[in-house]
Structures are given as structure tokens and as C-alpha cells.
Amino acid sequence: MLQFWWRPLLLLSGLAVASALLAAGADGYTGWFFFALGLLAYLLHHLRQLYRLDRWLAARDRPPLASGGLWGDPLYRLEKMLRVRQADQQRTAADLEQMLEATRHLPDGVVILDQENRITWLNQAAQTLLGLLPARDLGQYLLYLLRQSSFATWLQQEDYAQILQFASPVVPEKTLAMQLVPLPRTQKMLLARDITELARVEAMRRDFVANVSHELRTPITVIVGFLEAFDDMPNPDPAEFRRHIPLMREQTDRIRRLVDDLLTLARLESEAESKDETVDVAALVRRLADEAETMSGGRHQVSLHVDSAARLIGNSQELYSAFANLVSNAVRYTPAGGHIGIHWRREGQGEMVFAVTDTGEGIEPQHIPRLTERFYRVDRGRSRATGGTGLGLAIVKHVLQRHQARLRVDSTLGKGSRFAAVFPADRVIPAAAPAADAGVSPAPL
């Protein structure tokens, strides 16, 4: 700074001394003329520098600004400051663009509103979830576009802590969670999150609790009723007591099966992976065929078809639980005199299939996609009469998912059903030769 003031003072002082010397040697007008001429040249120099500075500031691509003398240091500092600020602005603009690009692709809908609730910006998810279009709706009053009364009341309250559950105007089956976030300059951000899956899971949880309570209430009520009746008897009759024991045992067995199935489902959902081993499926299905004969008590004709000795990489306990559920369902829901077939065969490109066929009543097509839901029953009264818990096919689904397998259901009303567990080739250990059937005579299916 000292140099900045010292140099012009020295220049003006020198000009004044030179003019005084000229004035002393000649007439006074000549000295003042040279002094004025020097000031004019000095002024023109500064005007030229100001012009260069103005042109340089107005230019988009600013070349290096070099100057000597009085203007050198200030122009150098100015150029350096502008370069630093320009670099900062470029970084800020790049960061802002990156943030906007990320916001554009967020799965949640984002709408920026001004203080009058007019749309100033929105991302792609807002178009999908709320049906808003930038070309049409920017600058529009949001409540003109989303006219639901509950949403209008919520938006006008501007309660930033309250979250509104809202049906999507584009896809009414989608449930959205709407939230407001305050922004600077009296703006606010509207967030729309798709919580359809969370709402479905919550509904399933409520239904699950209600179903478990309902399933337990009936047998417990029966048992408690008998116990209260016996307690009210002054002299209980042992024979009468023994006459009701089978029914109480049946209800306690129902509770036990339900609890066992619930524990099995809980274990399948809590364990990340199953402990794999080599499973001899041919031996397993022979065991299941024997158990089906025992469960049937001679009421059905059971046939076993083992067309391969291929084994599986999997958990034998889980596979037994899944296969046993399919077999027991066939026995329970097939009328007396019907046929039940148990199959283990190769299909497709190295896939292995465990299938259970029956000649029962069959299932209507609209019920098939929901069969693996917990407690879903085609006929509730008939399911309870046969002793089902409503969890068997849910267990089957979880076991097959843990083995990268899938359940395939084919059914014809009035003719019967086929439940097939299809295992991928990478779970199959091929056999050297196909195994023979296990002596149970096959029946036509």
C-alpha cells in the first residue's frame, strides 16, 4: 500500500519541480503549460487503464491482465481474486448440479414450493408418483393439481412434524407418505415416499396377529369350557371326564401344531442361510409315501414314482418339512377313494422336481396366487375340520426360497391338483443311474 501512494506522489512532485524550473528560466505561462500537459498525459494514462479494466471485466474469457507502474499491483491482485472467486463459483456450480442430478433420480418425489405453494422445481419421481409435469406445472398452484381435501388441509397447516399417508393420484393402489421440509427464503420442500410395501407388511402383521389370536381362541375356549364344567361339578364323574378327553386332546394337538408351525416360520425367517448337506431325496420321498399311507389309513390309494436317484444340496430337515406339508395337504383334502401320487423326477435343463398330485376337489384359479399367504384358506370351515393350521404352504414357500427353488401349482376344479417344488440344476447332484421305484404300485393319476 505504501508503494501504491508513494509512486504517484513522487511522479506528481517531479512534474511540479520540472514545471517550476521551466517557469524560473522563462515566463510563468510556459511552466504552467508543461505542468498542465503532464497532468493531462497522466490523466489519459489512467483513463486508458480504466478502459482496459472495464473491457477485461466485461469479457467472458479474460486473458491475463498485465500492466506496469501504478496499476500493476492492483490489477494483479484483482485478477488473482477474480480467478479464485471464479474457481469457487465453478466448484459450487458443479456441486449444485451434482446435487440436483442426484435429487432428480431420487426414488422419493421432491417438489420445491414457494411461499404461496406454487411449484418451482420437481424431480422425476414426483412425475411418477404425483403425476406432475415440469413443462405444464412449473409455477402452478399445487392445490389446483392435487385436489384431495385431506392433502389440502395438511398442506395449509404447514405442520412440518406431521406425515400424511396419501393415495397416489397416478396409481391409487400406491400409498405415499407426504412430508414437508422448511427451506430458506420462505420456500419448502414436499417429499413423497412410496410406502406401499411397508403398508402391506404392516397390514400383514395386523392380519397375522388377528389370525393367530383367532386360531388360538377356539381350542382354548373349548378346553377352558370343559375345565370350568368339571370344576362346577360337586362330584365329577370319571367316565364323563374320560369321554371328553379325546376332544380336549384334539384341541391341544391343534394348538401344538399351530405353535410348531409358527416356530418353524420364525426360524426360517430369522436364519439368514440354511446349513447345506447332501440330501438323499429318493429315500426321503419313500419315507413320505409310507407316512402318507399311515395318515390315509387306507382311505386313499398312494403311488410313489421315483424316476431318479439324483440328490440335492440342501437342508434335509427343511426339505422334509416342506415336502411333508405338501403330502399331508393332499391326504387331508382328497376325498376317500381318491388317488395321491408322490413323484421325484428330472425336468427341463437339469432341474429336479418333487411333485404331489391328488384327485381332490381342485382349487379355483383366483385362489392359487394367494395359497402361500399365512392363514389364507380357500374354505376356512373345511380347513379347520381337516386339522390344517393355514401355515403349511407359507412354510413350503420359505423353504423353497432358501433353496433357490420355486413352487408350481396346477389345479382343475373338480379333478384335482398338482403341487411341484422345482429345484435348479446347480442344486442337483446327478446320479450315476436312475433308481427303481420302491415297491409301492403306481396308480393312474
Cell of 220: 382354548
Q: What's the pLDDT at 12? A: 65
Residues 43 and 380: their CA atoms lie apart, in Å, by: 104
Cell of 191: 417429499
178 close to 151: Cβ distance less than 8 angstroms: yes
Rounded to 10 deg, the angle between the 72-104 and 2-25 helix axes is 150
**Domain map (residue ranges) of the chain:** 2-100, 106-194, 203-270, 277-429
Q: What's the pLDDT at 89? A: 78
Residues 51 and 398: their CA atoms lie apart, in Å, by: 80
Q: What's the pLDDT at 439? A: 40
Cell of 120: 418451482
Band of pLDDT at residue 356, cut at 50, 70 and 90? very high
306 close to 346: Cβ distance less than 8 angstroms: no
- Tens of pLDDT, residue by residue over 191-236, are 999 998 888 878 777 777 777 777 778 788 888 887 888 778 787 7
Residues 400 and 409: their CA atoms lie apart, in Å, by: 14
Same CATH topology for 203-270 and 277-429: the answer is: no
Over residues 147-156, the mean pLDDT reads: 88
The dihedral sign for the CA sequence 376, 381, 383, 384: positive
CATH class of segment(s) 106-194 = alpha beta
pTM of the predicted model, to two decimals? 0.54
Q: Which fold has domain 277-429?
A: Heat Shock Protein 90 (3.30.565)
Residues 352 and 422: their CA atoms lie apart, in Å, by: 6
CATH class of segment(s) 203-270 = mainly alpha
Write phi, then psi, for 411 (nearest 5 degrees): -150, 145
Q: What's the pLDDT at 408? A: 93
Compare 60 and 111 and report the one with higher pLDDT.
Answer: 111
